[in-house]
Structure 1
Amino acid sequence: MIRIKDFLRLISLAVKGREEDYTTLSIRKSIVLLAIPMILEMLMESLFAVVDIFFVGRLGPSAIATVGLTESVLMIIYAVGMGISIAGTALVSRRFGEKNYQKAGSITYQLMVTGLVLALLTGGVATYFAGEILALMGAAPDVVAGGIGYARVIFVGSVAIIMLFLINGAFRGAGQPHLAMRALWIANGANIILDPVLIFGIGFIPALGLEGAAWATTAGRSLGVVYQLYHLFNGKHLLKISRENMVVSFAVIARILKVSSGGMGQYLIDSASWIFLTRIIAEFGSNALAGYTIAFRIIVFTLLPAWGLSSAAATLVGQNLGAQKARRAELAVWLTARYNVIFMAAVTLSFLLFGEHLSAIFTSEPEVIRIASEALGIITLGYIFFGLGMVMVQAFNGAGDTRTPAIINVVVLWLIEIPLAYLLAVSLGFAATGIFIAIAICHSLHALVSWWLFRKGKWKKVKV
């Protein structure tokens, strides 16, 4: 057991950042050193989401609805970034487990080339069709007119989004989560400062309204990427990009695409399911959509730290498989899962007790508050299962087995969740409540299936 004094010392070391050999260090210490920066990283991302909707909420339900619709589509771009990030963590962690740091640097450069090309393609298409996308998602004409500027700026900034994701994935794979944490703190810290300034204006800076929120987000994430690039190229870390690494290798890119395709598939499938759910809930009016958006942001506030803890499992799996220590990798996953389940149980209790008060922070509309608090109360009933499932999925990804979680997503989120949500919300007349019930049921089922497949152990034999 880790004593309180030792635990606090580990937290200090984790935040300061120290490169360790996670194939030999105590598993509990490894989880703490990896998870603390990842949790703090995700807490800042969560804080950004909450602060952003707090300021946007002052512009009215239409502005909140625009953010909700845009972000449901932006999840596709997130999926690309997350897919490459997963590949980065898997490939770089394996090379670090093998102590092949030169090859890890080369892979990181190929990741950046791949991400840049994909970002320009996806962002360009989304920017050009921004208005049509909002209309397709069910936005009213006034929402499209007021939100097209916001959507275009956000989509243009997709290059920064994808680069931020994928480089942080490489940092995590290298056991350098403190660098990923600092990059996201810079990015989201700048956004939090710029949000009120650009939305409402100050001094000589004009009020840009909803579009100002988009510029704040894009500028902040771009600053984070600059920080990442500095640390990749300054030569002070085990993971570095030298001149020798800066040669495009189509063979490596093909391998990256192979591993990342499963990761992209996971998040594209997940994102598409959220898009369909958002489209269904849009049928019940702006209040329902605004309540759903607020609840989703609050839920993200807790899911992202849990995801940060889960990501420790991905790094430990990848590095220990690279060092031919499969049993140690498995033990790390079970221990991380235990911690995550405890955390999610505590969050469930807090949402059940204070869901309405949390919702009221972001809006004064009684109906929006009612819908948001109802969503929190229902969806988080499955949180304990969520905590288990997140670790299992990250373990698969850390091993480079991105295909298994993608298949689970297709079956549970597309073939079960979407039809069930439509049945409950529309056919049976439960409206938004039916969608919340479907989410709680299906994400709990997703976790149980992931746990069962992880126990079968095929992930241990994956080669990347």
Structure 2
Amino acid sequence: MTKPVEAKSRLSNFFNVIVQSFKGEEIDYTSISIRKAIVLLAVPMMLEMMMESVFVLVDLYFVGHLPNSAEAIQIVGLTESVLTIIYSLAMGLGMAATAVVARRIGEKNTEAASRAGMQTIAIAVSISVLISIAGLIFAKDILLLMGATESTASQGVTFVRIMMGTSIFIMLLFLINGIFRGAGNAAIAMQSLALANTLNIILCPILIRGFGPIPAMGLTGAALATAIGRGTGVLYQIYHLAKGSGNLKVKLAYLIPQIEQIKAIVKIAAPAVLQFVIASCSWIFLAELVATTGGDHGSAGYQTALRLMMFFMLPAWGLSNAAATLVGQNMGAGRMDRAEKSVFVTIKYSMIFMGVVMVLFLTCGHLFAAFFTEDTQVIAVASEALRILSLGFILYGIGMVLVSAFNGAGDTWTPTKINVIAFWLFQIPFAYFLAKYLAMGPTGVFIAIPVAEVGITIAAYLIFKKGKWKTTAV
């Protein structure tokens, strides 16, 4: 009877830890067990990342059932491809904030952590203003540049203007959550996304299809619902920053520019932003390549598959973010052995999760695609893409954890260099060769993606084992 009792006890303890992870309590992650620390951080972070991708999936679901759904899906997908540049800026700044805040928290210097977070917010707001202006002016040109037809670009102008015009919400939602993650308070980050998504899910059908006196707005309604949801999530974040939840005790005075602090943040953020921009530009090129070789249906199928892939991969990214926080805080506490061990324990969990996702896509990919559209041509392309992309999922999971570990240590240059080689010097030329020279069309693009990701994982592992990241000063 001992074994069943022990198993029941372990299961009970596991659920107690999960419940604790939702409470957002102030915990010293440099002293508790590594497995418990990973669960406490990873559960809300995984849910947070999953909910971020829900924004696009909800939009795709509702616009996918509009008349001319292929064009509508393409507009949403191409716009999201462009928005990945904004996501890259936000995630780069967020990663810098996570690294600096986590290091200061590990050093038990909460005031310095709060100052660093607020200085990063000031930088983000300045950048967002410029992006919003560009989006409002060049909305149609952006869609045409991405490979959309003249009629599709004309239909999508308002959608792009709203989505890019409210880029400050995207920027702050990612960034402030990065600050909370660095402080070890992943619960608030998750809660802000839960609130934003709930509003988006409620407003999407109302604004897209119309309800009572509210007219049906189609794509415009989808953009408005997303903007309102994200904006509300940001207000929730600001409330908790002002309240002083957890380790962060912010003051308005911390927003006053401090040149040395800004330089320190930019030193980490610049390569981090470049790191994500490199990847984003590669995705944009691939989207354009699919659109020109596969037409509207090929493009819509690829965008559907990409959104589904990101929905399932973002939880793994959330898991890898737990490694970033643990690496940063343990380095701040001077516990390098614990920082390294945290990475390899996280990798095991990531491999299990991504293995399950791979099986789901290989067996049920067509069912997932059919949920978002009734167009059989779009479903066929999406299903093929999911089967090919999923073959590298387990290695994707390993690579994401390793890259996050570098970033959490403040070594943002290493993943950036890897991305330049993997995406620009290999993936793009390889995809072009397969799609155009060998006339494989979209299938060639699908094949190039997992091949490049495998290379990233191998390179990241070999460099991580050398241990140079342990000497990074933040």
Q: What band does the TM-score fall into relative to the shorter chain? A: over 0.9
Q: For structure 2, which runs of at least 5 residues remain unmatched after alignment?
A: 1-6
Q: What is aligned with 1:376? A: 386
1:200–1:208 CA contact under 8 A, matched in 2: yes
**Counterpart residue number, 1:351:** 361
- Separation of aligned partners in 2, 1:82 and 1:455: 25
SS at match of 2:372: coil
Q: How does 1:329-368 map to 2 (within 5 A)?
A: 329-368=339-378
Q: Paired residue for 1:289, among 292, 299, 308?
A: 299
Could you give the per-residue CA deviations for residues 206-252 of structure 1, whole angstroms, max 9, x where no partner exists?
11110111111111111011000111111343212124534321221
1:55 maps to which residue? 62
Letter in 1 for 2:395: F
- Residue 76 of structure 1 is matched in structure 2 by 85
Q: Aligned ranges for residues 56-455 of structure 1 at < 5 Å?
A: 56-59=63-66, 60-283=69-292, 284-455=294-465
SS of the residue aligned with 2:180?
helix
1:16 is aligned to: 23
Distance 1:246 1:267, change over 3 A: closer
**What's the CA shift for 1:192?**
1.3
- 1:244–1:125 CA distance, 2 compared to 1 (3 A): closer
Q: Which moved more, 1:7-16 or 1:228-237?
A: 228-237
Question: For residue 30 of structure 1, what is the amino acid of its counterpart?
Answer: A
Superposed CA deviations along residues 159-208 of structure 1, whole A, max 9, x for unmatched, are 01001111000000000000000011111221111111111110111111
Aligned partners of 1:231 and 1:237 also within 8 Å: no
Amino acid at match of 2:456: H
Q: Mean alpha-carbon deviation: is it higher for 163-172 or for 131-140?
A: 131-140
* Root-mean-square deviation over aligned CA pairs: 1.1
> How far apart are the structure 1 equivalents of 2:375 and 2:339?
49
1:367 deviates by 1.2
Preserved CA contact (<8 Å) 2:181 2:325: yes
Greater shift, 318-327 or 16-25, is seen at 16-25
In the alignment, the residues of structure 2 paired with residue 58 and residue 363 of structure 1 have an alpha-carbon distance, to the nearest angstrom, of 6
Moved over 4 A (4+): none
CA distance in 2, matches of 1:271, 1:127: 21
- Residue by residue, what CA displacement relative to the aligned partner does 1:48-84 show, whole Å, maximum 9, x if unpaired? 3322210111121001111111111111111110110
TM-score, normalised with respect to structure 1: 0.98
Question: Identity over aligned residues, as a percent?
Answer: 48
Q: Is the 8 A contact 1:231 1:240 kept in 2?
A: no
Bigger Cα displacement from structure 2, 396-405 vs 238-247: 238-247
Question: Structure 2 residue aligned with 1:462, among 433, 449, 472?
Answer: 472
* 2: CA distance, partners of 1:341 / 1:299: 16
**How many angstroms apart in 1 are the aligned matches of 2:206 and 2:72?**
17
Opposite residue 50 of structure 1, the aligned amino acid is L
Q: In structure 1, how many angstroms separate the alpha carbons of the residues matched to 2:424 and 2:156? A: 29
Name the SS of the counterpart of 1:203 in structure 2: coil
Distance 1:230 1:217 in 2: 20
3-state secondary structure, aligned to 2:206: helix
Q: Measure, in 2, the Cα distance between the counterparts of 1:117 and 1:172.
A: 22
Deviations 1:303-361 (A, max 9, x none): 11000111000000000000011110000000000100111011101111101111111
User: Which residue of the partner structure matches residue 39 of structure 1?
Assistant: 46
Matched with 2:3 is none
What is the DSSP-based 3-state SS (H/G/I as helix, E as strand, rest coil) of the residue aligned with 1:16?
coil
- What residue identity is the alignment partner of 1:235? G
The 2-side partners of 1:200 and 1:256 are apart by 44
Structure 2 distance, partners of 1:113, 1:404, is: 26
- Report if the CA contact (8 A) 1:77-1:123 is conserved: no
CA distance in 2, matches of 1:366, 1:251: 57
Q: Deviations over 1:26-60 (max 9, x none)?
A: 10100010001101112222333322210111121
1:13 and 1:69 mapped to 2: Cα distance? 39
Equivalenced residues, count: 464
Which residue, out of 10, 15, 25, partners 1:3? Answer: 10
- TM-score, normalization: structure 2? 0.96
> What CA distance in whole angstroms lies between the structure 1 residues aligned with 2:370 and 2:253?
55
